[in-house]
Structure 1
């Protein structure tokens, strides 16, 4: 039986919106929505944070919520993932980021089952390479074999910071790919939190539309019906790798 774990990376020193994951909405931090929604995936969840004192509040949150937490280098996030996967004996890793408070745990769980059914440790499965879901629902599923290979061979600062480029760019030449898609595509919508505009959209969605109770498809339908909400952060550009 393969041991699967969801690893969410987090830090308090975001360049565009510091402390964003602990900003409160409707009485609880954004990180709490992220964690609770991922519980629907039916897999253990781990937090990978930095070893800097600035992330002590995240360690305190993890301890208070019985959330396993490992700490490692701020810029070498790949090392953080490898450290966490090794410490917990994971065979399959689901990578998510904590700035996605409305990620759909059920969608992640379905993707994990599809990955396990394939029975291929060289497989990389995600909804990010062929993007049809809004940003904010992102996940990647891969084996510890692929993670260890990247950890041992990735050399550039960008590879180390962004965790999976060595894998999804198929630097080894031996990676196979599968994609989770939806039709119609809504890749232009943005439900991640990186700026004040992003935060305001998430705040309104949760406080006024109970978005934390909605599935990915229900959230997309809500945005389809409310172009004024989409406009709140439509001009924001995602940071490049």
Structure 2
């Protein structure tokens, strides 16, 4: 099996406590997870995409849909998401992983590519975006660091949230900063209110293709670029 330079692992599940099934919620006649995958496909640096979902029965509908659209799927533990990521990485070997969550339909592939460039230039083992609206950015880390984290992270928080060990336990890390703190802006779907807001954004921009990015959305919202 060829080793990819960058593998995107999309974290998805049906069991969200605040908005169950949100990754399959309708957004311009497509599920949110479809939009996330399609926006990821626009990245110039990602060589492969796999959606990592739990093994439980309630995620069977998600698995069936992903297979229907031809997406790569890996199924693992619902609560130990770190092990799910590590096993997905082993099944799809790469030098480094991009972590994206399936409730972020305004994920920006341009921001991802800039973060990857920053990651490479700094020679980091881990890098993430900083100051961007919540739901726009991504995390990038080496496959070796993911293996290390899986072997050493012990708390439930570290296991559930995948990367806390990576950004707290070692020095080879960096943060790609947007230059202006917009972290107060929510571009993620966690509540019904978030979903209605996302439908407003998509209703304005989406015409079958993903040709709108962070600057376009901020301009529409009246935010200074």
| Residue 7 of structure 2: aligned partner | 5
The 1-side partners of 2:42 and 2:4 are apart by 19
Give the structure 2 partner of residue 136 of structure 1: 135
1:107-122 alignment, distance < 5 Å: 107-120=111-124
Residue of structure 2 in register with 1:52 after alignment: 56
Map of 1:233 onto structure 2: none
Three-state SS of the structure 1 residue aligned to 2:119 is helix
Moved over 6 A (4+): none
**Shift, 1:152, TM fit:** 0.4
SS of the residue corresponding to residue 100 of structure 2 reads strand
- Aligned partners of 1:177 and 1:68: how far apart in 2? 29
How much does 1:185 deviate?
2.1
Q: Does the alignment pair 1:177 with 2:181?
A: no
The offset of 1:37, in angstroms, is 0.7
Match of 1:104 in 2: 108
Corresponding residue pairs, total: 218
- In the superposition, the TM-score normalised over structure 2's length comes to 0.91
Equivalents in 1 of 2:204, 2:112: separation in Å? 25
Tell me what 1:199 maps to. Answer: 195
Q: Which residue among 66, 70, 75 is the counterpart of 1:71?
A: 75
Q: Show structure 1 runs of 5+ residues with no match.
A: 227-241
| Structure 2: segments with no counterpart, 5+ residues | none
Question: Structure 1-normalised TM-score?
Answer: 0.85
Query: Which range moved further: 71-80 or 20-29?
Result: 20-29
Which is richer in strand? Answer: 2
Aligned mates of 2:70, 2:174 — CA distance in 1? 33
* Distance in 2 separating the partners of 1:94 and 1:69: 16
* Aligned Cα root-mean-square deviation (Å): 1.9
